[in-house]
Structure 1
Amino acid sequence: MGDAQLIVTHFCIPEPVTSVAALGEGFINDTFLVQTQAEQQYILQRKNRSVFRDIPAMMENISKVTRHIQSEGGITYHLIATREDKWYHKDADGEYWACFTYIPDTITFEHAQNMDMVRAGGQGVGLFNSQMAGFNGYLEDTLPGFHNISYRFEQFAGSLNRARSRSSDAPVSQSNASMESNSTSRLEEVSSLVDEVYSRKEQMEAFWNLVAAGTIPRRVSHNDTKLSNFLFDKDLQVVCAIDLDTVMQTTVLFDFGDAVRSYANPFPEDHPRVQDVKMDVERFSAFSQGYLSKAAWFLNEAEKTHLAFSALYITYEQFLRFLMDYIDRDTYYRVRYPAHNMVRARSQLALLKSMEAQLPAMQRILSEIFKTY
């Protein structure tokens, strides 16, 4: 905490700071609430440089996006510059920090609690995409391969090879033997899940190829539109998107698909009772109504045709990534217990299977909504 209190002095916060306290439990970044003698509060965040390899470029992307939203009359946070007039501070340990205004009287949710919130969330995602539809600038590709399923398959193959290699190498110490045994048992434990990954490989690559070829166009997208990345007011209406670290020029279908993964699932993404996990088709309908009320005007025919499938694509990718991290012994996502990533993977697979069974219904719902625009 002492580090955060010292770091905050490098940013041009006009009010005297009274306290710096940890806020929430993010998967990737460490976040702190900065309170001042005035009403205005701020967020101080240590960016994860092992995930975000070019944080200066990432912060420049965020600056461009927030300024564009503000120019459109939208609500978003304001970045706070350092005394060196940068959007980030790099400390003596090489860690990167950012600071921005805290938006008061807002709350976040891990999952949608009612249909009104689902619909409002759809409006929020659609509004973000719509606000950025007129953006004519350039954003850096700060996460090469993000949502690129061909790249994920390469990573996954590497994870499998490393796990198998560890199991075949002779241990040099008792501690190494324990680690390698753990890796081997993990891979054996999830062998059926590995089969689930490869059974859908061709289908998922076909979708990605449409994006790579430009048939599905690249636009500014958030790339992490789960419900917890939106702020709501006291009336449960979306205020704005947060956690803009992943904004890039990809396809907005990733935003739609990731939001459906979050909003249409009545349970958290790590729900342990996989038999309960399903995509609620009524939630899907409510979200789609909200989203298309803001975004239908700019989508082309290829985007409309593949909108429903994007939810399957993103859910599949998240299933693959949780499984891969479990096999890799939890090197990417934070876990609360040893099997956490495996539980996450199984939960996402159950959600994917539910979506697959309901894909025709999802397509019919979207077709009916599009008729109203």
Structure 2
Amino acid sequence: MQSSKNIAEVVSHFKCAADAGSYKAYGSGHINDTFLLRNVAAGGPDYLLQRINHNIFTNVEKLTENMQRVTEHLKGKVLSHGGDPLTEVMTLIPTDKGTYFYNDSNGNYWRMFYFLGNTKSYDLVKLPKQAYEGGKAFGRFQAMLSDIPAGEMFEVIPDFHNIQHRLRQLNEAIAKDAAGRVSSVQNELEIVRKYAESMQYFQQCDQVKNLPKRVIHNDTKFNNVLLDKNDEAQCVIDLETVMDGYVAYDFGDAIRTIINTSTEDEADLNKIQLNMPLFDAYVNGYLQEASKFLTDAEVNSLMKGALLLPYMQAVRFLTDHINGDVYFKTKFEGHNLQRARAQFQLLKMLDENAEAMNATILNEMASYKTAQY
């Protein structure tokens, strides 16, 4: 919990007009702490202040360099298309030393952005229009970054979407059994083993030899898209994991969070079904933008990403549960296990419908190719 004195100290080092006493917790992120602060002047821009979890993001300087490069690149693209960079791209606020992060007297790292008012985000998508706009937002985001060569961004979290790495972490957690929970999750571990081999597609050189690495978002939960008052996409946020990866990772994580008929941590597994109209709408919006740069190999990999990401997230939640809930924020004992079970159920539903969903992707892509010629 942050004190008002601590917040005031931090705010005083940013070039802003934020009222430190107005701070309140904001958002539903699992990793960082985010606060909304009002402007001291009526009508002035408000601010978002974030305490960066430097136990996870261990190189804050390089992370910040990534964010600076990406936001500047995006602002240039938005401006060249007649858009408004201040409302369509996150804007980092500098400190009094000219950097874009501050290390406080307690050893914590902070950054600040302008708050984009009159926007909204959703943890649970309900309407095809929302899904369509999310697809457009992430497709456009990837398209605007597609001319940054792979290999130039700092790898913020090594092996972030490497399932072999995540399975190794799980096995290490099982061996240590730090919280004495392994014996109670044997059913979940059996699901992990059932899918493990098929989920390693992106780590097989012969399978991905034609797949280009690109600069992608790497955390495309739907609540990382801000929509305007008309539910139209305005801005993609949470850029700290922007680094190299396969476009299928972004596609898969978006599908994971959009077409689930319930929440990421739903306890009643019967409520977890696939909202196919939302899938169709997301694919439509995504390919409207991404079809301009995607290769055939990338298109063919998209559904593999949609299967991988819920599996990977389940493995990560299960690993954290076994370790004693040391990574993700939890609200009650067993929260991570509940999350893992929900993701395994979503994977089951996706696996049963994968063929039809892939046909939708291919048909939609074919229609865009026809329109382009």
> What TM-score does the superposition give when structure 2 sets the normalisation length?
0.91
- Do 1:211 and 1:217's aligned partners in 2 also have CA atoms closer than 8 Å? no
User: Shift of the alpha carbon at 1:250?
Assistant: 1.0
The correspondence of residues 88-127 of structure 1 with structure 2, limited to 5 A, is 88-127=101-140
- Do 2:27 and 2:34's aligned partners in 1 also have CA atoms closer than 8 Å? yes
User: Shift of the alpha carbon at 1:15?
Assistant: 6.5
1:52 and 2:47 matched: no
Distance in 2, matches of 1:21 and 1:367, equals 45
- Do 2:261 and 2:271's aligned partners in 1 also have CA atoms closer than 8 Å? no
Q: Secondary structure at the match of 1:245?
A: coil
User: Shift of the alpha carbon at 1:252?
Assistant: 1.6
CA deviations on 1:20-53 (whole Å, 9 max, x unpaired) are 2222342111111121123211111100011111
The correspondence of residues 323-334 of structure 1 with structure 2, limited to 5 A, is 323-334=318-329
Q: Figure out how many residues of one structure are paired with residues of the other and give that number.
A: 354
Assess, with a 3 A threshold, how the Cα gap between structure 1 residues 365 and 238 changes in structure 2: closer, same or farther: same
Q: Secondary structure at the match of 2:204?
A: helix
For 2:27, the equivalent position in structure 1 comes to: 24
- Do 1:112 and 1:118's aligned partners in 2 also have CA atoms closer than 8 Å? yes
CA deviations on 1:206-257 (whole Å, 9 max, x unpaired) are 2332599553211111111111111111111111111111110111211110
Listed as ranges, the gaps of 5+ residues in structure 1 are: 167-182
The correspondence of residues 216-227 of structure 1 with structure 2, limited to 5 A, is 216-227=211-222
User: Shift of the alpha carbon at 1:346?
Assistant: 0.6
Amino acid aligned to 1:68 = H
Amino acid aligned to 2:52 = K
CA deviations on 1:64-95 (whole Å, 9 max, x unpaired) are 11101100115112111111111100112221
Distance in 2, matches of 1:190 and 1:115, equals 36
For 2:198, the equivalent position in structure 1 comes to: 203
Q: Give the counterpart of 1:215 among 202, 210, 216.
A: 210
1:148 and 2:153 matched: no
Assess, with a 3 A threshold, how the Cα gap between structure 1 residues 161 and 21 changes in structure 2: closer, same or farther: same
For 2:271, the equivalent position in structure 1 comes to: 276
1:342 and 2:365 matched: no
User: Shift of the alpha carbon at 1:306?
Assistant: 1.2
Distance in 2, matches of 1:202 and 1:23, equals 39
The correspondence of residues 33-182 of structure 1 with structure 2, limited to 5 A, is 33-38=36-41, 39-73=44-78, 75-136=88-149, 138-163=152-177
Distance in 2, matches of 1:189 and 1:144, equals 30
Q: Secondary structure at the match of 2:110?
A: strand
Percent identity over the alignment? 32
For 1:178, the equivalent position in structure 2 comes to: none
RMSD: 1.6
Q: Secondary structure at the match of 2:262?
A: coil
Distance in 2, matches of 1:354 and 1:71, equals 41
CA deviations on 1:314-358 (whole Å, 9 max, x unpaired) are 111001111111111111111111011111011000000000000
Assess, with a 3 A threshold, how the Cα gap between structure 1 residues 280 and 113 changes in structure 2: closer, same or farther: closer
- Do 1:18 and 1:36's aligned partners in 2 also have CA atoms closer than 8 Å? no
- Do 1:278 and 1:355's aligned partners in 2 also have CA atoms closer than 8 Å? no
Amino acid aligned to 1:20 = Y
Shifted more, 146-155 versus 276-285: the winner is 276-285
Amino acid aligned to 2:15 = C
Q: Give the counterpart of 1:245 among 235, 240, 247.
A: 240
Distance in 1, matches of 2:131 and 2:300, equals 22
Shifted more, 203-212 versus 225-234: the winner is 203-212
Distance in 1, matches of 2:19 and 2:104, equals 21
For 2:352, the equivalent position in structure 1 comes to: 357
- Do 1:270 and 1:347's aligned partners in 2 also have CA atoms closer than 8 Å? yes
Distance in 2, matches of 1:256 and 1:219, equals 13
Distance in 2, matches of 1:104 and 1:24, equals 14
User: Shift of the alpha carbon at 1:60?
Assistant: 0.8
- Do 1:5 and 1:19's aligned partners in 2 also have CA atoms closer than 8 Å? no
For 2:371, the equivalent position in structure 1 comes to: none
Distance in 1, matches of 2:123 and 2:256, equals 12
